[in-house]
């Protein structure tokens, strides 16, 4: 089994995971931050239809410039996505997702010193990104959508974000119990594939398959997931949940986003996926200093 990358893909021909050793130091540096301070994940969408920045970073030069800005602003890891998962999104085929990444990802991994995360639920896309040096797979379906995903992550020795998700919204659902069932199943898949626990993060999936009240309920009760002894990642940046609460359009939701992330940190979250990196780095310097005092 070998993945061959042509020069047109932005890399010379390589056997499976030949670039993996270059990824490991970045992966381990990122993992080493957990429990030391809050970790900031900068968002880079190379899509035409993401809710906040769709179409802005599809071009190679624009994507590279934004990745460098996120790194300069203090992002600890940069999360690259080529398929929008906003409410009402249109799923794209694997070849479309890869076509969006191939002009950008090889150059981005070479140009940016920070670890790169690939935001995908497709094993083939994850395999391509890991082969180039991506250190994290951020799967919004928690290893449960693509049967090959867990084995792909394990073979590539990448870290992984397991996010809770649902096909539909049920306001009568015990959302905490549903999330625990989901996480338990995902962690079983991870264990079976051989993904080490220190490489796993959990994401409650704010805005995915939940009502507004359920989202707020989960944020208030994040501490109920600390018994997994895994870092909790929060992705609430600029989301409509916040916009509805403060009456703000997408670009005016910074204060609401910072407030939500600080509240989540107070409940035990440690990784924050955000659009506005510099502002969150500053906010968490203060938060972490108070926590350590």
The residue annotated as part of the active site, out of 7, 273, 285, 292, is 273
Q: 180, 239, 285, 292: which is the annotated catalytic residue?
A: 239
- Please report how the helices 254-266 and 212-220 are oriented relative to each other, as an axis angle in degrees rounded to 10: 50
- Give me the residue label for tokens 């180039």: 132
> Active site includes 7?
no
Residue 273: active-site member: yes
DSSP SS3 for 276: coil
Residue spans of alpha helices (H) in 112-193? 123-132, 149-156, 175-193
Q: How far apart are CA 80 and CA 106, in angstroms?
A: 12
Tokens representing residue 113 in the block: 């010193």
Q: Which residues contact 107 (CB under 8 A, 6 or more apart)?
A: 10, 60, 64
Dist. CA 183–CA 203, nearest whole Å: 9
Q: Which residues are catalytic?
A: 239, 273
């Amino acid at each position: 089994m070998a993945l061959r990358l042509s020069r047109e893909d932005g890399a010379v021909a390589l056997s499976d995971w030949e670039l993996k050793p270059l990824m490991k130091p970045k992966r381990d540096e990122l993992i080493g931050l957990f429990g030391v301070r809050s970790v900031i994940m900068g968002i880079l969408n190379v899509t035409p239809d993401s809710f906040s920045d769709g179409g802005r970073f599809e071009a190679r030069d624009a994507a590279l410039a934004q990745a460098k800005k996120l790194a300069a602003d203090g992002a600890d890891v940069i999360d690259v996505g080529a398929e929008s998962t906003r409410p009402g999104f249109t799923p794209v085929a694997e070849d479309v997702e890869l076509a969006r990444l191939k002009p950008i990802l090889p150059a981005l991994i070479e140009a940016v010193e920070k670890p790169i995360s690939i935001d995908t639920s497709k094993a083939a896309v994850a395999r391509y990104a890991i082969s180039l040096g991506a250190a994290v797979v951020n799967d919004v379906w928690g290893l449960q959508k693509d049967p090959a995903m867990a084995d792909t992550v394990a073979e590539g020795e990448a870290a992984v974000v397991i996010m809770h998700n649902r096909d539909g919204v049920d306001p009568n659902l015990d959302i905490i119990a549903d999330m625990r069932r989901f996480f338990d199943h995902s962690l079983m898949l991870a264990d079976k594939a051989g993904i080490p626990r220190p490489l796993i993060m959990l994401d409650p999936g704010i805005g995915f398959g939940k009502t507004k009240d359920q989202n707020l309920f989960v944020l208030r009760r994040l501490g109920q997931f600390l018994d997994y002894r895994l870092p909790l990642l929060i992705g609430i940046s600029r989301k409509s949940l916040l916009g509805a609460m403060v009456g703000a359009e997408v670009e005016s939701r910074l204060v609401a986003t910072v407030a939500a992330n600080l509240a989540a940190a107070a409940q035990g979250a440690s990784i924050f996926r955000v659009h506005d990196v510099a502002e969150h780095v500053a906010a968490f310097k203060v938060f972490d200093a108070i926590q350590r005092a």
